[in-house]
Amino acid sequence: MAFLVMTVAFGAKRPRTALAAAAVSFLLLLGERDAVWFVDRAWAMMAAGWFAFLSLRFPGWTLTARAAAAVVAAATTVAAAVLASPASWTAFEGVVADRAAATLEAITFELRRSGGMDPTLAARLDMVFQAQVLVFPALAGLATSAALAAAWWGYGKLSGGGAELQPLATFNFNDHWVWIFVVGLGLLVVGGINPPSRLALNLLVFAGGFFALRGLAVVSYLGRRRRRIVYGVLAVLGALAWPGILSAALILGIADVWLDARSHQPEEAT
């Protein structure tokens, strides 16, 4: 959807861009047309529309800033609609919960059939799926930001616009984003953790995703002379202990707000 909106907003500068847009249009028509199908596409169109507007209005903004701002603007629009009709959001949440429950049931059935199911694993899977339902707005925001960046890169490649994605080591954003994380923590402390504030959790997950990626960018930059080895080690450790790696990346990303590690490194000789 994002690629299609960008093609309409910025023009199909080459025949292959128009062909790709036609292919995307066809793919968007596929799938079971339930509530989630319509909401997915409406959300994607809204976020992509905001991204196109911000790209035209603020061309000097970084790709990360435009993508995140588009998600926030789309979320604000949705929030206004929800305030006008709270029942629609409740109904949609019910559909999301039902889908998550159906997915969990299918996974549990396959594990039991293969003999790899035990009570501990069942409890962990249930906890994971319940958490996903709680923070699906934040997860949708992170996924949408990534999709907007990928669509912008794809549009640039096909249209010859030169929209290149920068290396991971250069990934950065405004330090003031840390206040999103701080507000989430504050709401969590004020509201308590039993049960935790849903708004707090979504703020923490959304901001945490960006800061974790920033932490990985710092590691990539510091290990740039042995980048393949660094990526290999991270991949292995991530497969074996991804919660620990994700937590460490998050802490490093937040610390980089004050440390700004990449600005203090000497330039390599050329």
Q: Which two tokens stand for residue 37?
A: 């199908």
More confident residue, 55 or 10: 55
Going from N- to C-terminal start, the domains of the chain cover: 1-165
Burial 174-194 (b: 16+ CB within 10 A, else e): eeebbebbeebeebbeeeeee
Buried b (16+ CB within 10 A) or exposed e, 21-35: beebeeeeeeeeeee
Provide the whole-model pTM: 0.83
Helix 136-159 to helix 119-134 angle (10° resolution) is 70
pLDDT higher than 60, residue 153: yes
pLDDT of residue 265: 55
Kindly report, residue by residue over 63-118, the tens digit of the pLDDT.
899 999 999 999 998 888 888 888 777 877 787 888 888 888 888 877 777 766 67
Confidence of residue 269 (pLDDT cuts 50, 70, 90): very low
**Joined tokens for residue 231:** 């990526």
pLDDT of residue 207: 94
Q: Distance (Å, rounded) from C-alpha 13 to C-alpha 254? A: 40
- State how far the Cα of 221 lies from the Cα of 211, in Å rounded to an integer: 15
Cα torsion angle, 183, 184, 186, 187, sign: positive
CA dihedral 180, 186, 189, 195 (to 10 degrees): -40
Burial class, 256, CB count within 10 angstroms (exposed 0-12 / middle 13-18 / buried 19+): buried
Alpha-carbon gap, residue 183 to 191, rounded angstroms: 12
| Strand, helix or coil for residue 193 | strand
CA torsion 219-231-167-57 (nearest 10°) is -80
Per-residue pLDDT band for 255 (boundaries 50, 70, 90) equals very high
Express each pLDDT in 37-61 by its tens digit: 788 888 888 999 999 999 889 988 8
* Most confident among 78-87, 91-100, 167-176, 240-249 (mean pLDDT): 167-176
The three-class DSSP label of residue 196 is strand
Distance of CA 128 to the CA centre of its chain: 18
Q: pLDDT-based confidence at 161, cuts 50/70/90?
A: low
Half-sphere exposure of 238 (CA within 13 A, CB side): 10
In this structure, which long-range contacts are made by residues 256-265, counting pairs with CB atoms below 8 Å and at least 24 apart in sequence? 256/214, 256/215, 256/218, 257/175, 257/178, 261/218, 261/221, 261/222, 262/169, 262/172, 262/218, 262/221, 262/222, 265/221, 265/222
HSE at residue 205, side-chain half, CA atoms within 13 A, is 20
pLDDT band at 254 (very low <50, low <70, confident <90, very high): very high
178 alpha-carbon distance from chain centroid: 17
